[in-house]
Every structure is written in C-alpha cells, then in structure tokens.
Amino acid sequence: MTDQAAALEAILKRATDFTAQQLDRVYRQTDRMFMWLMIAQWIFGVIVALAFSPYGWSGKVRSVHMHVPIAILLGGALSGLPIALILMRPGSAITRHVVAAAQVMWSALLIHLSGGRIETHFHVFGSLAFLAFYRDWRVLITATILVAADHFIRGLLWPESVYGIINPEWWRFLEHAFWVVFADTFLILSCLRGVHEIEKLAERQAQFEALSEGSWRGPSLPAAV
C-alpha cells in the first residue's frame, strides 16, 4: 500500500469516527430533550385527567375521575422507563427505541384521557416530529408500528377511547395509519438528509486535519453518497 493510499484510508477512518461522534452527540442531546418532555407530559396528563376527563367521559358530571390514578400510575410508568434508560444508557439504540415507544404511547394515553377527541390525535404527529430530531429513521418505524397497533386493538376492544364514538368503521385505523405513514415519508427523508450532511462535514474535517498535518496532498475527497 502506497503512502497516499494509506493516508486516504486514514482520512476515511477518521471521517467515520467523526460521524459516529457527532451522531452520538445528537442522540444524547435528543435523549435529554425527551427526558424533560416525559416529565412535562406526565404532569400534563394528570392535569388533563383532573380537569378534562370528567367532562370528556361523563358529560356534565364533575368529579374525580378514574382516569386520575391511570394518568398517575400508567403515565409514571410510561415516563419512568425511558427516563431511567436515558440516565443509564444515553445515546444507545435501545434507549432511542424505548423513547419512541413511550412517546407514542403517551399520545395514546392522552387520546384516551380526552375521550378520543380528534384534536388530541395531533399529538401523534408532534411526537413523530420530535423523534425525527434523533436523525435515526428506525425509531420512526418503531413508533409507527405501535401507533397502528394501538389504533387497531383499541378500535376493536374499546373504540370510544380512541375515536370518541362507540361504533366506528372497522377500517378507521387504516385511515389514521395512512396519515402517519404520509408524515413518516417526509420525516425519514429529513433524517437521511441530516445524516448525509453530518457525513459530508466529517469528511471535510478529516481532510482538513490531514492537510494540516501534511499527510494528504491529493485531491479533495468525493462527497458522501
């Protein structure tokens, strides 16, 4: 292997290391964002259970609803597991996927607490947008599968909790899943483009350092594909 080929290999390896470091930084920063979001959602869920659930489920009856302990206990579980993983294993793939699962399950819980109000379904799309901050398209797949499964299962067993009506059409979950996949298409492209930009910046940084050290005198590296 010539000196030039060895230098090129070293640059590519350094660029790969820079990419991994930058992505790890993105993962950890997004983990921290979700840690605070999980805490905020827990508080918000309890407030919704106290203030809105009695009207959403019992009409004009105003009382402490059964959804209050559900929001406290189930909401605590939904927030507690991802927070624990964020603290113990920040930046790891398992943490990202658990966060994705918990986030869309929070959407499901809030939809339930509101009695299936259509406005609350927009929380799903907000959750997907936040998950795209990871720049890892795989977490969007995890979230989408769980959203579709939740709508399908609850649509069969307890449709009022997800659609707000007792007898929705059986295919209603497909309609919701379609719009989730539609949003995923653009978010996945955004994730791929974000990673591509990180790779290009890493290559430039690696080449600049090699030029500064005098170990590379060849042409510029091709852009990342």
- Number of structural domains, the chain? 1
What is the Cα–Cα distance from 71 to 12, expressed in whole angstroms?
50
What does the block give as tokens for 45? 């869920």
With respect to residue 9, please indicate whether it lies within any of the assigned structural domains: yes
pLDDT digits (tens, 9 = 90+) for 24-44: 999 999 999 999 999 999 999
What is the Cα–Cα distance from 8 to 6, expressed in whole angstroms?
5
Question: Whose CA is closest to 82, among 96, 72, 64?
Answer: 96
Percent of the chain with pLDDT over 90: 48
Band of the pLDDT at 155, cuts 50, 70, 90? confident
What is the average per-residue pLDDT within 92-121?
91
Between 201 and 101, the more confident residue is 101
Instruction: Please give the pLDDT value at position 172.
Output: 80
Between 25 and 214, the more confident residue is 25
Window from 22-31, 40-49, 136-145, 201-210 with minimum mean pLDDT: 201-210
Instruction: Please give the pLDDT value at position 82.
Output: 97
With respect to residue 220, please indicate whether it lies within any of the assigned structural domains: no
Residue 135: what residue type? Answer: R
What does the block give as tokens for 139? 């977490």
Max CA-CA distance within the chain? Answer: 82
With respect to residue 222, please indicate whether it lies within any of the assigned structural domains: no
With respect to residue 219, please indicate whether it lies within any of the assigned structural domains: no
With respect to residue 124, please indicate whether it lies within any of the assigned structural domains: yes
Return the ∠ at Cα 174 (arms to 37 and 101), rounded to 5°.
Answer: 25
**10 lies in which domain range?**
3-213
Residue 142: what residue type? Answer: T
With respect to residue 145, please indicate whether it lies within any of the assigned structural domains: yes
With respect to residue 223, please indicate whether it lies within any of the assigned structural domains: no
Determine the length of the chain: 225
With respect to residue 96, please indicate whether it lies within any of the assigned structural domains: yes
Q: Number of helices and strands (H, E) in the chain?
A: 8, 0
